[in-house]
Amino acid sequence: MLSWIDKDTEIYCSFAEKAGNTGCQMMNTAFYYHGLNKIYKSFSVRNIEDAVNAVLTLGIKGFAITMPYKVQVLKYVHDLEDSVKKIGAANTVLNTNGRLKAYNTDAYAATKFLDEYDNRKKLYIIGNGGYSRAVQYSAKQCRFDFRVITRDDWDELKDIRKSIVYNCTPVEIEEKIDQSNDYINCLTYSNTGIELANLQASKQFELYTGLEFPL
């Protein structure tokens, strides 16, 4: 599958506190589908500044950022796409001749996803990290009345009824949610998480290649 790797192969990657395989599988499959001389690799990193410096040193063409670096990474890039300026977090960075520009494809996915829900319902956004910031931005775009619930207030979850609950944390909370609610789970083993991952990856792939995501 990767037999064409050579000195001209362009490298893309992701940085996380704990690397996973989902992005690798999706992006490498899409690169292969289009016959592109590109590869994608996930890395576990302890210091995002060092990771960004490695991108510049090695000429890596682009990278994704996951928890807990989506806010912190903004200190180490040169330019911000407009939505990133409003959100205050990014999950995608492109390297163009040594100049790094940050984007947020989480917001793209969340907006597309929330647009399918009734915005007359109250939206509860669980968590307040980098991903939650993107969802809050999307909620405003979709004209939802929303409230952010942090871990300190999780006892309130049991009292929510007939609303939309959007879990933006790495912790499963479904057992705390009344079944009268619509539950959106960002975790990629869930049906909603898979759909969100596909939506954000499609935008990310478009940024990386200018091509349509095939999956």
Residue 205, pLDDT above cutoff 90: yes
What's residue 42's pLDDT? 96
Q: What is the pLDDT of residue 112?
A: 95
Average pLDDT in the chain: 94
Residue 61 is among the residues annotated as catalytic for this protein: no
What is the domain partition of the chain in residue ranges? Answer: 10-105+199-209, 108-194
Out of 38, 70, 101, 203, which one is annotated catalytic? 70
pLDDT greater than 60 at residue 3: no
Does domain 10-105+199-209 fall under CATH 3.40.50.720? My reply is no
Architecture of domain 108-194 in CATH?
3-Layer(aba) Sandwich (3.40)
78-86 contacts at long range (C-beta below 8 A, 24 or more positions apart): 83/107, 83/137, 86/137
In CATH terms, are 10-105+199-209 and 108-194 the same topology? yes
Token pair 């990014």 is found at 90
